[in-house]
Amino acid sequence: MIEGGARLDGAVKICGAKNSVLPVMAAALLAEQPLRVPNAPQLHDVGTMAVLLRELGASVERYADGGVEICAEGPLSDKAPWETVRKMRASICVLGPLLARLGRADVSLPGGCVFGVRPIDVHLKGFEALGAKVRVEHGFIVAEAPKGGLRGAEVFLGTAFGSSVTGTANVLMAAVLARGRTVIHYAACEPEVEDLCRCLVAMGAKIEGIGSPMLVIDGVERLGGATHAVIPDRIEAGTYLSAGAMTGGRVRVTDMRPVHLSAYLDRMREAGLPFECGPDWVETQPQQESSGAHGFPPRPRPTDVTTQTYPGFPTDLQAQWMTQMCFADGVSVINEVIYPDRYMHVAELARLGAQVRRQGTTAIVQGKASLSGAKVMASDLRASAALVLAGLAAQGKTEVYRVYHIDRGYEKIEQRLIALGAKITRAKE
């Protein structure tokens, strides 16, 4: 429940990246020794991955300081059950490690956010290139390595929507224990994939081309334990920067990597939203002139955005940016090419008075001077964040329902917004 109109002010420290820690946790299945992640965020998805790893036979210990330690000494099960996998799409990341370690994996087709079909064909294509036999039966992916184990190969992982982040991660984790050399062409270059590579190298993997679209992996017989701190969450950072900009406040987002948000910050400049940038922080700047409801700053300039694979504009910030453009002085165009159906938030923003028209993969946003609070329903993780942002900047009271989605990717978001001056509370429905 949000009372709009409070100007945010203060500093917020960014947590470890959700999209990095989940595949890193899955990578623990590749070794018998413990893998420790000292900065694992306290998220529902991290808890789901911990449950899944325990069901597969690993031990998972969560420390008071936020760290997590996973030991997959064994014996391990090769079957990941539907009851857990259905809750989170990232569960598919255990497929590659199980196949490489055990020679067989039996993993339910995954669930997750409901904004359209996200096929896993590229995962299966990669495993088959490594010599595995793969089939889908009774809702499960069954992958079996040939006698003697997986073998290195040339693999092209491009899709109609660009490179695949989870596909690259899955095939990469299978390849590190394959015999010989694997070359992944059109590998995803996202910071989270680079982070996984560095974790695997710390465990003893041999990987070249980290951060590039071509990864060269020389398989090793076994991996060992390691301690690996994951990168800061760039999507969380962008969300809090939007919160600061939309309320006209001075919000410093710390412990982040601005280079990971270059496309987002470029759009901030284009929209005329002032900010200052340091080596590991970005701070939104209040504008001198005030106008509109609640004395908020001048309306931003409209922008055109097309989501792209890294280093382009992140699809995971599309909903938040659309909300920001709902207040722009003019018409903005947003083109969602990564997940074309990722527009579940449009109808809910309309309940707040936003003027957004969707045409295929494109959304046309007619900015307004203000929105008005209303009851809205969250449909997925990033849509939840967008609706919270809208509530912070809207006039009156906004109630966001189904906020369990937001707990999947934002640690204690209402507490951290309250610390910045937001008027927000959580209540049971």
pLDDT tens by residue, 293-302: 455 568 999 9
Predicted pLDDT at 66: 79
| Res. 89: pLDDT tops 90 | no
Q: Please state the φ and ψ torsions of residue 150, each to the nearest 5 degrees.
A: -65, 155
Final residue before a domain boundary, out of 187, 211, 227:
227
Q: Is residue 184 part of a domain?
A: yes
State the pLDDT at residue 291.
Answer: 47
Residue 429 lies in a domain: no
Domain that holds residue 181: 18-227
For helices 121-129 and 95-102, the axis angle rounded to 10 degrees is: 20
How does residue 111 score in pLDDT terms, banded at 50, 70 and 90?
Answer: low
User: Do 215 and 346 share a domain, yes or no?
Assistant: no
The yes-or-no verdict on residue 243 having pLDDT over 70 is yes
Cα–Cα distance, 217 to 100 (Å, whole number) = 14
pLDDT-derived band at 80 (thresholds 50, 70, 90) equals: very high
What is residue 288's predicted lDDT score, i.e. its pLDDT? 59
- Whole-angstrom distance, CA of residue 391 vs CA of residue 389: 5
Same domain for 110 and 238, yes or no, is no
- Same domain flag for 65 and 145: yes
Counting Cβ atoms within 10 Å, is residue 368 exposed (0-12), middle (13-18) or buried (19+)? middle
392-429: pLDDT as tens digits = 999 999 999 999 999 999 999 999 999 999 999 999 88
Burial 101-140 (b: 16+ CB within 10 A, else e): bbbebbbbbbebbebeebebebbbbbbebbbbebeeeeeb
Going by pLDDT thresholds of 50, 70 and 90, the confidence category of residue 113 is: very low
Which position among 15, 71, 93, 113 bears the catalytic label? Answer: 113
Pair (307, 223) in one structural domain: no
Structure confidence at residue 4 (pLDDT): 96
Instruction: Please report the pLDDT score of residue 340 as a whole number.
Output: 85
Neighbours of 396 (CB within 10 A): 16
CB neighbourhood size of 98 (10 A): 26
pLDDT at 116: 45
CATH code where residue 360 lies:
3.65.10.10
Residue 162 sits in the same domain as residue 32: yes
Determine, yes or no, domain membership for 91: yes
Same domain? For 212 and 337 the reply is: no
Per-residue pLDDT band for 160 (boundaries 50, 70, 90) equals: confident
Q: Are residues 60 and 9 in the same domain?
A: no
Which residue type occupies 147? K
- Residue 114 in this model has a pLDDT that exceeds 90: no
Mean pLDDT of 356-385: 95
pLDDT given for residue 345 in this prediction: 95
Q: 114-123, 178-187, 378-387: which range is least confident on average?
A: 114-123
Q: In this structure, are 286 and 371 located in the same domain?
A: yes
Inter-residue contact 169 to 96 (CB < 8 Å): yes
Percent of the chain with pLDDT over 90: 87
Choosing from 227, 255, 282, the residue where a domain stops is 227
> What 3-state class would DSSP assign to 293?
helix
User: Could you tell me if 291 and 213 lie in one domain?
Assistant: no
Lowest-confidence range among 230-239, 335-344, 369-378?
Answer: 335-344
Instruction: Quote the pLDDT of residue 214.
Output: 98
Averaged pLDDT, 281-294: 72
Mean pLDDT rounded to a whole number for the chain = 94
Residues 39 and 11 in one domain: no
DSSP structure class, residue 39 = T
Res 33 pLDDT > 50: yes
- Over residues 370-380, the pLDDT tens digits come to 999 999 999 89
Per-residue pLDDT band at 287 (split at 50, 70, 90): confident
What's the pLDDT band for 46 if we cut at 50, 70, 90?
Answer: very high
Top mean-pLDDT range of 14-18, 84-88, 339-343:
14-18
77 and 204, same domain (yes or no):
yes
Residue 214 CB neighbours (<10 A): 12
Q: Check whether 115 has a pLDDT greater than 80.
A: no
Do 246 and 191 sit in the same domain of this protein? Answer: no
Q: Provide the H-helix boundaries in 298-376.
A: 318-325, 345-351
Active site residue 113: yes
